[in-house]
């Protein structure tokens, strides 16, 4: 079944002429038509455009000039990444009809290798949410249990991959928005080191925290996609020169790798989740890894620090949506101030409004030093906390979430409870570190459990070694849909 093939397997099939790009496109068109009315993973999907891209790929291969080994393989794109000629809504009413005139750098890089744009994946509005329930286009449902959340904000990307409606997807991660959906949906994804991947053309939520990364069903595919989208971009001053990670590292094993186990990240974790992580750690140890206790005491400050810094940056970034330049515009005979107010009142959802208000308050006169500046200082302490831990270990392993996926509606009405969903992931963004999440088993309800592997800056290679070793004990499984 084509839709259950990995990116690597599809690449081999295309090279061996066992299938065509059109056959791959046809298979995904059928699966999306069958499954997505239930899951709601896509905001935009254009079968005709996908078939056109497939025909162009098949023509290149017939002429012996494929753009790469991946030419003709489709990828789903989170809907906060600019795609020329394709709607980019950020899951918001205020951008519901916005069609960008340019591609984000990551989209350019995919196209240069011949990847096709499969569709734009649903997401929490402006990436603000942990459950994918804040989207203007309705919530995404978890393929393993459609009464449960897929995680957010990249829930559409993760759900599409888990439900075999895409072989791979791009997501963005500001506080766990790739990793939490991967944990809840039972797929693999990485939030790279801040700067490894260009943010040009990514609609900003919190500029010092946002980072794009791939979501796939295998560690090998995640590594391949990360190599494709990484690298210096002169249009993004925060991007860094990087070298590709050799696929050979996957087979090098974990012997001698020192793996840190922070007790603080196991506090309050569901017993079944904890046991699954412990079992996988034992498996790593049996392959030669050395397990080392470490302490990350600053974790307890991560949630308040994150929600001060992220909302402050969001209040600045979202000021551009005013009904004047593009996007939704309120109607009526209005003064300029009234136009701003009515456009934002009607165009933004409640969670986005809440975060803009929080951020504006934290940046306001009289509160800037007390809140925002203090949060920046504690962020520095969180960075030092990780730096000290990585002096003794190569990797740090934690659960990705304190529990498996919870039910739709369970936390959306309680913002603080929803914010706490990210407690095990947000420190990684504050410290600009890389973090990968992959399946680590299932709980007694049949829901996926996610394991998080962290490394120091630009040391993703070590993460992939350990992730591949973990994956060998947790074969890819699929929900019944």
Q: How far apart are CA 90 and CA 94, in angstroms?
A: 9
Per-residue pLDDT tens over the stretch 140-170: 999 999 999 999 999 999 999 999 999 999 9
pLDDT, average across residues 201-208? 97
Helix spans in 113-190 (H):
155-162, 179-185
What's the rounded mean pLDDT across residues 311-324? 95
In the block, tokens 């412990």 appear at: 278
Find tokens 């017939």 and name the residue.
62
Binning pLDDT at 50, 70 and 90, where does residue 384 land? very high
- What pLDDT is stored for residue 322 in this prediction? 92
Which one of the listed residues 177, 315, 403, 456 is annotated catalytic?
A: 177
Task: Please name the residue that has the structure tokens 């000629």.
Answer: 85
Q: Is 153 a catalytic residue?
A: yes
> Is residue 343 over pLDDT 90?
yes
Residue 4 has pLDDT above 90, yes or no: yes
**Please, which pLDDT band fits residue 325 given cuts at 50, 70 and 90?**
confident
Residue 426 has pLDDT above 90, yes or no: yes
Please, are residues 405 and 459 in contact by the beta-carbon 8 Å criterion?
A: no
- Three-state DSSP at 42 gives strand
- Which of 475, 397, 392, 386 lies closest to 436, judged by CA? 397
Q: Is 223 exposed, middle or buried (0-12, 13-18, 19+ CB in 10 A)?
A: buried
Nearest to 141 by CA among 133, 190, 428: 133
For 5, which DSSP code? -
Answer yes or no: are the C-beta atoms of 356 and 317 closer than 8 Å: no
**Mean pLDDT, all residues of the chain:** 97
Outline where 216-301 has alpha helix (H): 219-229, 271-286
List phi, psi (to 5°) of 60.
Answer: -65, -45
> Whose CA is closest to 421, among 176, 207, 210?
176
pLDDT higher than 90, residue 257: yes
Q: In what order do the strands lie in the sheet with 211-216?
A: 42-44, 116-121, 74-78, 168-173, 211-216, 188-191, 435-442, 448-455, 395-399, 258-262, 290-294
**What average pLDDT does range 71-97 have in this prediction?**
97
Q: Which of 78, 93, 411, 465 is catalytic?
A: 78
Mean pLDDT of 202-219: 97
Of 153, 172, 224, 315, the catalytic one is 153
CATH of 1-481, one of 3.30.70.20, 2.90.10.10, 1.10.357.10, 3.90.1300.10: 3.90.1300.10
Which two tokens mark 416? 């603080």
pLDDT at 418 over 90: no
Is the CA virtual torsion 461, 463, 466, 468 positive or negative? negative
Residue 438's SS3 state is: strand
Q: How much of the chain exceeds pLDDT 70, in percent?
A: 100
What is the distance between the alpha carbons of residues 267 and 303, in angstroms, rounded to a whole number?
15
Question: Given this model, what pLDDT does residue 468 score?
Answer: 98
Confidence of residue 301 (pLDDT cuts 50, 70, 90): very high
Domain residue ranges in the chain: 1-481
Check residue 414 and give its pLDDT: 87
Give the pLDDT confidence score for residue 96 in this predicted structure. 95
Could you report the per-residue pLDDT of 302-314, keeping only the tens digit for each? 999 999 999 999 9
Whether 21 has a pLDDT exceeding 90, the answer reads yes
User: What's the chain's Rg over C-alpha atoms?
Assistant: 21
Query: Which residues does 350 contact at the CB level (< 8 Å), separation at least 6?
Result: 134
Whole-number pLDDT of residue 262: 98
Could you tell me the pLDDT band of residue 326, with boundaries at 50, 70 and 90?
confident
């Amino acid at each position: 079944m084509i839709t259950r093939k990995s990116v690597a397997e599809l690449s081999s099939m295309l090279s061996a002429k066992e299938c065509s790009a059109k056959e791959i496109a046809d298979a995904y068109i059928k699966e999306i038509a069958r499954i997505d009315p239930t899951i709601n993973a896509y905001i935009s999907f254009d079968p005709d455009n996908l078939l056109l891209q497939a025909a162009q790929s098949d023509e290149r291969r017939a002429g012996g000039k494929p753009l790469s080994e991946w030419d003709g393989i489709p990828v789903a794109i989170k809907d906060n990444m600019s795609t020329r000629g394709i709607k980019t809504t950020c899951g918001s009413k205020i951008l519901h009809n916005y069609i960008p005139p340019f591609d984000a750098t990551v989209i350019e890089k995919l196209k240069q290798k011949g990847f096709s744009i499969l569709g734009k994946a649903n997401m929490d509005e402006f990436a603000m949410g942990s459950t994918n329930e804040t989207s203007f286009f309705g919530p995404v449902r978890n393929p393993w249990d459609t009464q449960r959340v897929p995680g957010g904000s990249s829930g559409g990307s993760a759900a599409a991959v888990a439900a075999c409606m895409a072989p791979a997807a791009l997501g963005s991660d500001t506080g766990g928005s790739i990793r939490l959906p991967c944990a809840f949906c039972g797929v693999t994804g990485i939030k790279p080191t801040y700067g490894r991947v260009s943010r040009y053309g990514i609609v900003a939520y919190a500029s010092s925290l946002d980072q794009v990364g791939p979501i796939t069903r295998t560690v090998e595919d995640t590594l391949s996609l990360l190599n494709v989208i990484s690298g210096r971009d002169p249009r993004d001053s925060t991007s860094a020169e990087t070298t590709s990670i050799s696929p050979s590292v996957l087979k090098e094993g974990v012997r001698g790798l020192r793996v840190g186990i922070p007790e603080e990240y196991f506090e309050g974790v569901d017993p079944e989740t904890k046991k699954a992580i412990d079992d996988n750690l034992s498996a790593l140890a049996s392959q030669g890894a050395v397990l080392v206790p470490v302490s990350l005491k600053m974790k307890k400050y991560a949630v308040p620090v994150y929600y001060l810094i992220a909302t402050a940056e969001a209040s600045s970034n979202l000021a551009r949506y005013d009904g004047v330049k593009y996007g939704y515009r309120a109607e009526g005979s209005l003064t300029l101030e009234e136009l701003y107010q009515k456009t934002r009142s009607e165009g933004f959802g409640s969670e986005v409004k809440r975060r803009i208000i929080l951020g504006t308050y934290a940046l306001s006169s009289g509160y800037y030093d007390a809140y925002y500046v203090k949060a920046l200082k504690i962020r520095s302490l969180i960075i030092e906390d990780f730096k000290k831990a990585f002096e003794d270990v190569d990797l740090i392993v934690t659960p990705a979430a304190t529990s498996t996926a919870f039910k739709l509606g369970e936390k959306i009405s309680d913002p603080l409870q929803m914010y706490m969903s990210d407690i095990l992931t947000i420190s990684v963004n504050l410290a600009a570190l890389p973090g990968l999440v992959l399946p680590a088993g299932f709980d007694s309800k049949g829901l996926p459990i996610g394991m998080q592997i962290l490394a120091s800056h630009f040391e993703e290679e070590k993460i992939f070694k350990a992730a591949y070793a973990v994956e060998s004990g947790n074969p890819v499984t699929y929900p019944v849909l």
